[in-house]
Amino acid sequence: MIKLQVKIILWIFIISATFLCGAQIENINSNELLAFEDFLRAQHLKHALVLAPGPGPGPNWSRQIENYKRLFANYRMQFFTPQRGVQFQELFYYEAPRTALLVAAFEGEHVKRWVYEAASAGGYFNNSQAWFMLGKCQTNRTDEQIIRLHLSAYNISIDADITVAMSVPQTTNWLLYDVYRVGQDTLLRVESKGQWSPSGGYKLWENFRGSWLRRRSNLGNITLIGSTALIEKPAGMDDLSYLSNNKDLLQLDPMQRKTFQLFLLIGRMYNLSLEVRFRETWGQLLPNGSWTGVMGHVTSGEVHFAVCPIRFVTERHRYIQYTPVLHTQLIHFLFRHPRHSSIRNIFFEPLSTQVWWCVLALVVGSAMLLMLHVRQELRLQQQQQQHLAQPVERQMSFVWFTMLETFLQQGPSTGQFQLPSTKILISASCIFSFMLMQFYGAFIVGSLLSDTPRSIVNLQALYESSLEIGMEDIAYNYELFTNTSNQLVRNVYSKRICRDRQHNILSIEEGAKRIKFGGFAFHTAIDRLYRLLNELLDERLFCELQEIMFSPPYLGASVLPKSSPWREYLNHAVLYLGETGLIGYNDKMWTVPRPDCTLFKDAEVEVDLKHFAPALFTLVLAMLVSSTVFLLELLLDWLKARAKATARWRENGMFLHL
Ligand SMILES: *[C@@H]1O[C@H](CO)[C@@H](O)[C@H](O)[C@H]1NC(C)=O
Ligand SMILES: *[C@@H]1O[C@H](CO)[C@@H](O)[C@H](O)[C@H]1NC(C)=O
Ligand SMILES: *[C@@H]1O[C@H](CO)[C@@H](O)[C@H](O)[C@H]1NC(C)=O
Ligand SMILES: *[C@@H]1O[C@H](CO)[C@@H](O)[C@H](O)[C@H]1NC(C)=O
Ligand SMILES: *[C@@H]1O[C@H](CO)[C@@H](O)[C@H](O)[C@H]1NC(C)=O
Ligand SMILES: *[C@@H]1O[C@H](CO)[C@@H](O)[C@H](O)[C@H]1NC(C)=O
Ligand SMILES: *[C@@H]1O[C@H](CO)[C@@H](O)[C@H](O)[C@H]1NC(C)=O
Ligand SMILES: CC(=O)N[C@H]1CO[C@H](CO)[C@@H](O)[C@@H]1O
């Protein structure tokens, strides 16, 4: 509650190192305050801090407050006199509005002791505060020298917003100076910024109208330290030369090297040099609240930022801040799509189950019809006493085989039947079978030649398919599959992946090998997998690859310590590189070239064993059935013979008895 109040209240403190007589205070203060008001307006600020004179309330303090109230009628004010230094930490809580601070005499010992030192130690000479300091010129020194003399000792950061107004002798005008420091141990930079006069108001030179980032973009070759995680690298190669390598070793994870190229561009953009420190991991939160890996480097302030992308994870936000997106990691399922995905085998493919039943019904129906015809034929033959080469028989098998011959386009011999009705039946069956066979054969050939449409294109289809499903053994995969409200995703994990954990949760290299073997869908970073598969698969197999995406891609960005002065620089640089297309270009440089599968035609038509197996299986089954029946027949014959023998023996025996 207190903090909320603070937010809407204008804090006014008054600082003045020297005690002047009442009339003088009135005179100088009105000009100072007019300038300060112009400053506030130019900076679009609503909150201000004016420091009180001396450690306690001075003479005429309440009168001055009245004056200020009149002057700043638009603002709400509260008055406060610091007793023992300014408690910046309490005044500028997290996300406090940007506040202006007025220092009426910037060279005073009292200000140095109670204000500057506190601000410097706490790092408050940054962009959260806009300082307005008033100073007096000296005849034997330049303004720059005076400013450097008084402010050089303090930690002033690159994004500091300090305006020092130096009085111009014999006038009521001030010259305005911009003060900041590029690096920790570099010279304080003091640049002329504009001027203020009672008549002309607050005037800035042309180049100070834009953003401070543009003006301060030449960092004078200072060295900033970046951190990166190198997880895999070839033996015998030192870290930095591997990181800068952008030509070969493309089969290794390129992510860090890819973004490092962007940081080299950023370095050139701001005229800075990079020093890179290496870690083995991205970083894990330890129970005692510290981090390992790159995150540890950044949170401890050992480095200025990460030069590798770090994934957006909620728990990291409390410790660091992110830049805009540097890298997009696509994480998909990848597998070789089976040529024919249905369970039914290729030989039944052309017709639907219903149609097959109809065909069977037709064959049986016409066979039964033929039986009636055959009866009539036999009667006719008996009447005419004809002796044909292939006489019509009255048995079931004769009818069945005749019908089969007709349907399989062998046809019964021409002179066998004499009745016109039988001939019509046989002809009709022949024509029907001709049409069916033409269609069937053409479909089989056609389906082998053409690329059948893919049916496993979403997670549901993958879940229902006969493919084995696995994933890379990496932290985010577990999180993705278990920490989700999507029931299907959880089913895929619990029922398919975990059905055989050891076999399905693999390293990316093993996963690539199993994908090559086929019948296996693997969930991992797609770019790295393509790199491996590029070497393992030939063009034909590569074009069979199918991706399934069910989660949005992972985004990664560089990270900086909280309230780092380099934040604006990196943000600006990353957005700029994105806008000019350089990030896209860099991404393109680092993606694997893939064969153009639209041009790729199946050169050789082949039916693989998997699809042919049902036919073989049926044949073997038929052979088995046939030989079993054969054995049964032998047995029956033998039994019959034995029965006969027994009967004869019995007869003989009885004969003997008699
Ligand atoms: C500057 O900041 C560092 C920490 O960032 C601190 O140790 C040092 O005392 C500060 N220097 C001054 C003069 O306040
Ligand atoms: C400049 O003049 C001031 C008094 O106005 C004096 O204290 C100071 O020592 C002089 N500095 C130099 C470098 O002469
Ligand atoms: C970068 O900074 C160095 C050191 O200040 C300077 O010599 C060099 O000219 C600068 N380069 C550019 C391109 O401004
Ligand atoms: C910039 O600094 C790096 C190392 O800090 C140095 O190798 C390089 O020569 C410097 N470049 C310029 C232009 O001064
Ligand atoms: C946390 O623990 C790690 C080792 O477990 C240690 O290296 C580190 O210094 C500890 N950090 C703190 C802040 O205690
Ligand atoms: C996912 O994990 C986070 C913390 O790691 C937790 O807050 C959130 O509730 C989890 N979501 C689900 C759907 O389990
Ligand atoms: C300025 O520094 C303070 C204290 O270090 C910090 O809380 C604040 O976020 C910083 N502001 C910016 C804009 O970096
Ligand atoms: C303008 C004004 O009221 N000035 C007063 C400031 O305080 C001194 C005494 O401390 C008075 O003498 C002045 O009149």
Q: Which ligand is nearest to the CA of 63?
A: 8
Q: Is the CB of 288 under 6 A from ligand 5?
A: yes
Confidence band of 17 (pLDDT split at 50, 70, 90): very low
Per residue in 495-545, pLDDT (tens digit) is 989 988 888 999 999 999 999 988 899 999 888 888 888 888 888 888 888
Predicted local confidence at residue 582, as pLDDT: 95
| From 344-353, 399-408, 465-474, the region with the lowest mean pLDDT | 344-353
311: pLDDT strictly greater than 60:
yes
Strand order of the β-sheet with 272-279 is 272-279, 222-229, 305-306
Residue found under tokens 């006014």: 12
Predicted local confidence at residue 46, as pLDDT: 80
What is the distance in A from the centroid of ligand 3 to the CA of 219? 8
d(CA 226, CA 77): 44
Q: What percent of the chain has pLDDT over 90?
A: 32
Average pLDDT over residues 36-51: 83
Per residue in 334-356, pLDDT (tens digit) is 999 887 645 456 677 777 888 88
Mutation test of ligand 3: which of 218, 223, 265, 273 has the most ligand atoms closer than 8 Å to its C-beta? 218
- The contacts of residue 599 (CB under 8 Å, 6+ apart) are none
Spatial CA neighbour of 590 closest among 237, 272, 323, 309: 309
Q: Which CATH number is associated with domain 2-215?
A: 3.40.50.2300
What is the distance in A from the centroid of ligand 2 to the CA of 137? 11
Please, are residues 63 and 23 in contact by the beta-carbon 8 Å criterion?
no
Q: Is the CB of 450 under 6 A from ligand 4?
A: no
Confidence band of 15 (pLDDT split at 50, 70, 90): very low
d(CA 581, CA 559): 22
Predicted local confidence at residue 638, as pLDDT: 93
601: pLDDT strictly greater than 90:
no
Confidence band of 298 (pLDDT split at 50, 70, 90): very high
Per residue in 164-192, pLDDT (tens digit) is 999 988 888 899 999 999 988 888 999 99
Per residue in 366-380, pLDDT (tens digit) is 888 888 888 888 888
What is the distance in A from the centroid of ligand 7 to the CA of 571? 16
Q: Is the CB of 273 under 6 A from ligand 4?
A: yes
Q: Is the CB of 590 under 6 A from ligand 1?
A: no
What is the distance in A from the centroid of ligand 5 to the CA of 237? 31
Per residue in 129-150, pLDDT (tens digit) is 899 998 888 888 899 999 999 9
Q: Is the CB of 421 under 6 A from ligand 4?
A: no
Tokens at 577, concatenated: 């590189």
What is the distance in A from the centroid of ligand 2 to the CA of 380? 146
Residue identifier of the C-alpha nearest atom 3 of ligand 3: 220
Per residue in 82-105, pLDDT (tens digit) is 666 677 887 777 777 888 888 878
Tokens at 424, concatenated: 């019509």
Q: Which ligand is nearest to the CA of 141?
A: 2
Please, are residues 399 and 374 in contact by the beta-carbon 8 Å criterion?
yes
Q: Is the CB of 121 under 6 A from ligand 1?
A: yes
Mutation test of ligand 5: which of 279, 281, 288 has the most ligand atoms closer than 8 Å to its C-beta? 288
Q: Is the CB of 218 under 6 A from ligand 4?
A: no
What is the distance in A from the centroid of ligand 4 to the CA of 573? 21
Please, are residues 191 and 164 in contact by the beta-carbon 8 Å criterion?
no
21: pLDDT strictly greater than 50:
no
248 or 162: whose pLDDT is higher?
162
